[in-house]
Structure 1
């Protein structure tokens, strides 16, 4: 087939997008929006065609499921279920791996893979410690189990919803809720068996190195770093040079390694007293002070009480420089470190983090992320690292302090940070009293999906709305739980697949696959699609991969004259098998720091699992969905 100008343009846009996705030089959602704009500017699609992805049922369904998952997490329901399952695991390594992978696979069939791993991660670390087993023996199985479980139901992972949407768009019956379950169960059983018999022997045993990065609760972190012993109060005296300065302009952290955690401000001005010292203290004791939210605009006023963290000598030097009164901390000042609103967490820098090689000052950490770094812990280094001048390295553990919602933002930036576990959930779920309500809503959604009383989209949107109306989460919290980057990615790549079909790229590629592999038979074509998808998903988002490859699979099936269901499910399954690299899936990245894994650790276990999955897919998919 001769390539037309339109085909070259679409191919060029596709190749450019893939290169940008792999290099991560530009955010994936920005790339996806750029694709939409280019498709309109080049005239390859009309405006309505280019923007159709934003009204796609797949996008709306996945968005609604993010909200439902948010309600389940916000009420503590997910954590409760996970911890109860893990409580039966015991201390034997084989039993631990079996229970762990089974539990995470079960939960991932109905929840976000990443959310499930984040919730269970702290509990798994503690299980490993109690059983005297290296966490490295358990954390890759945790991640892989979540990926296998996501492939077992229609809502387990976005690729499943996308391939079902392709069927609907072409006039076929969509996949049912449990259409993926038979194949999914086969993969789960095979995956667990492989890890138990072979995979666990390929995993590293790095006990001593991992101890430095173990995940603990926020309360344990406060004690481990001896933070209460480093708290003091500074009163802003009349004539202090800090009066009128913004907190970010004081230089306390830069010049003295003193961190301002909280400001207590008098509700009414302190009066000048002419009587004795005892009377002045009694009058001052009657004055009330309220906490002030610290941000980049907060200025320091006369008589403010600064609750700070720092070494005594550093605090004394800062007080002398700025004419501040030094006071001992009160027991209640520990709430400046840890409360329902603020807390502490350990954050590991992954290999691709853009912070590596830079200092905290150079990246303007406090200004950009609205969090305070209290400590830098470098595995293998005992000396205390200077917060101001230390250049960050791969594997450094930052102890950050600030609002829980800002810590949650770091979790979304998984290229630069790996937040250990889900520390905010270790204090208390914001709406634990709504856990039963969330359970009823989740069960109701599953009933609607399984029985087919409503469409998948309608059931998901109804459940998401019910989560908000019943108070399982607020509307603002619902927006926060939605992974907007993923939604924009899907909405931007759907028009690209439309353009590929419209100008004939899909037909050309599928014809090429059929001509080269079709002579062997449909199984050969399906194997080619599986390997293509699996290869892309190790370096690309599984969602983007599915949006690109699914139309090719459908066209190849039509060209061969066979039913498309097996081909499309092969693509969805392959997209979920992101085992080979730590960047293939957020779950792999999430466990990398806590397990102290290397890149090769994933490949050793992941490559055989991909090949096993391929063989099983070729054996069973034609039986489940005959050609």
Structure 2
């Protein structure tokens, strides 16, 4: 092994360790790996950022913008109402929802498809007498499966196509992935709709009213004259025993006491930290006349807000009619925090929710359990559920600005039939140009982005916010690193090891090894990163065996799209963690049989469609 090979293997091992650790964002880890390669002389400094101009990176960015157009115009909302049967049993309803998610994911960002269909899944779960999680997990897996059916369905497909072109074999066509991908997706959807959903843990009772999201951590202030004053904490809990709420903390004079003694008496001005759901919270408030401790700035008005806190934070002249209208429009919303949302890693105080937006953060639920920190200082994580209060219009602006998803009935996008048709025509036109070979994918979809801006399906100001920049940076940084693996011969060395030691020189066994290895890595690290690392290895294995590299690249693309075992393997898995009340170990129960099915279906099809 040469010194450059040892360097690149060390960098790759450190990169994977950091991905698995999860302490730093994936894009930061990728940039660290790129700079390590530059410092070690493995990547020329003048070529370090060439990945930002790579066709795969440009295409991913463009697809995200075009997906935003479908969301803005309400095209998917209309499609969901049209396709999903109003009266359907569990099999029909589940299959229709998963099928719609899979189809949408073939032509738009699968996180966007998941976000759009989540409220539909919640409503369907109530109608089917299932817990939300029993519908949300099948939907998440269906959208992931759908991504493997087309070139633009998921970043790993575009990455595999890019490596194929660099190997001198040209890009994959738009529907080259379909023969194997569609078969795998259909088999997966059928399995989950028929049997698989039964394997999803039912964390909440079936048939519950509304959308049960698990326990919230909520802070309530005891005001002057409250019936709770003078009671012990034990007596307080006894009064609300039927509601299943419990006190998990007490804040007095800005000092928090965790698990306070039940004999401690409640005083005026105390803040009780309750573990409760929305209905329980309402009962406690009404019984004792206590108030939600709404978060915001440090002013007295912020610390002791009145019942309609959204007013008065940014004074402006309003008529009495305006004020009464604002009062009527005060709404309560449960919001799920998407991966990549602008509020991830920030607290209510950091965001200045009251002074900037006129909104109140009332409660937070994380992975179905209440977090331990104070609401005002709690750092938001992806997958969290936020219970927020404020004017309907302001709430809509906040949701659009931050990338959160409202749960339950949505009133955010009023479908515009004409604009929905235009946005659909734009993306179909771009797909058609790529399919007919008129333009490469990057150029065709960039034309689609320009058309979207000119025709206002995506306002120009929204173009840059529609792009998931951490994913773009991750891809752009890892492409030169993957090139260094090839240039140093490290990819070939690792390929020979896998072929000779594990596969014993058997091409079919090697194909299975590549697929299973990719699936495993995509369960614990970003799927785009997995594809970027394994594509050059797959090409090296094919070269060592003297067989068709296309079958191995397709195996990487399929494996990178099958992250079903953990909540961190794919953004859609993370997104349902809180709303479904799931735990880390819940995913493998359905995910493992599904991954076994994917291997069983895809290996024979790869050998038929892409023969060795």
Q: TM-score range by the shorter chain?
A: 0.7 to 0.9
Given candidates 174, 177, 188, the residue that maps to 1:177 is 174
Q: Which residue of 1 aligns with 2:112?
A: 115
For 1:174 and 1:381, locate their aligned partners in 2 and report how far apart those are by CA, in whole Å.
Answer: 47
Aligned residues of 2:109 and 2:154 also touching (Cα < 8 A): yes
Distance 1:487 1:96, change over 3 A: same
Distance 1:365 1:559, change over 3 A: farther
Given candidates 422, 434, 445, the residue that maps to 1:460 is 445
> Is structure 2 residue 324 aligned with structure 1 residue 331?
yes
Q: Secondary structure of the residue that 2:169 maps to in structure 1? A: coil
Q: Which residue of 1 aligns with 2:497?
A: 512
For 1:344 and 1:192, locate their aligned partners in 2 and report how far apart those are by CA, in whole Å.
Answer: 31
Q: Which residue of 1 aligns with 2:64?
A: 66
Given candidates 567, 570, 583, the residue that maps to 1:598 is 583
Q: Secondary structure of the residue that 1:208 maps to in structure 2? A: coil
> Is structure 2 residue 303 aligned with structure 1 residue 254?
yes
For 2:328 and 2:532, locate their aligned partners in 1 and report how far apart those are by CA, in whole Å.
Answer: 47
How is 1:122-521 mapped onto 2 (pairs within 5 angstroms)? 122-208=119-205, 213-214=211-212, 248-256=297-305, 260-263=309-312, 289=317, 330-334=323-327, 337=330, 344-347=333-336, 366=353, 372-376=359-363, 397-399=386-388, 401=390, 402=394, 404-408=396-400, 410-411=402-403, 419-421=405-407, 426-429=411-414, 433-521=418-506
TM (norm. structure 1) is: 0.76
> Is structure 2 residue 33 aligned with structure 1 residue 35?
yes
Q: CA deviation at 1:536?
A: 0.8
Given candidates 88, 106, 109, the residue that maps to 2:103 is 106
Q: Secondary structure of the residue that 1:471 maps to in structure 2? A: coil
Aligned residues of 1:64 and 1:464 also touching (Cα < 8 A): yes
Unmatched 5+ residue regions in structure 2?
214-276, 287-295
> Is structure 2 residue 113 aligned with structure 1 residue 94?
no
For 1:397 and 1:265, locate their aligned partners in 2 and report how far apart those are by CA, in whole Å.
Answer: 23
Given candidates 47, 61, 69, the residue that maps to 1:49 is 47
With 517-526 and 458-467 compared, the bigger mean Cα shift is at: 517-526
Q: CA deviation at 1:20?
A: 1.9
Aligned residues of 1:259 and 1:374 also touching (Cα < 8 A): no
Q: Secondary structure of the residue that 2:387 maps to in structure 1? A: strand
Aligned residues: 528
Unmatched 5+ residue regions in structure 1?
216-220, 231-246, 268-288, 291-304, 306-326, 412-417
Aligned residues of 1:22 and 1:539 also touching (Cα < 8 A): yes
Q: CA deviation at 1:258?
A: 6.9
Q: CA deviation at 1:198?
A: 2.9
Q: CA deviation at 1:259?
A: 7.0
Tell me which structure has the larger Cα radius of gyration: 1
Q: CA deviation at 1:387?
A: 5.5
For 2:177 and 2:543, locate their aligned partners in 1 and report how far apart those are by CA, in whole Å.
Answer: 21
Aligned residues of 2:73 and 2:413 also touching (Cα < 8 A): no
Distance 1:67 1:349, change over 3 A: closer
Aligned residues of 1:359 and 1:389 also touching (Cα < 8 A): yes
Q: Which residue of 2 aligns with 1:21?
A: 19
CA RMSD in angstroms comes to: 3.8
For 1:441 and 1:562, locate their aligned partners in 2 and report how far apart those are by CA, in whole Å.
Answer: 39
Q: Cα deviation per residue 1:597-627 (whole Å; 9 max; x = unaligned)? A: 2223210010111111112221110110111
Distance 1:377 1:512, change over 3 A: closer
Q: CA deviation at 1:45?
A: 1.4
Q: Secondary structure of the residue that 2:579 maps to in structure 1? A: helix
For 1:474 and 1:29, locate their aligned partners in 2 and report how far apart those are by CA, in whole Å.
Answer: 27
> Is structure 2 residue 507 aligned with structure 1 residue 522?
yes
Q: CA deviation at 1:204?
A: 2.5
Aligned residues of 2:348 and 2:376 also touching (Cα < 8 A): yes
Q: Which residue of 2 aligns with 1:276?
A: none
Q: Which residue of 1 aligns with 2:260?
A: none
Q: Secondary structure of the residue that 1:467 maps to in structure 2? A: helix
Distance 1:465 1:538, change over 3 A: same
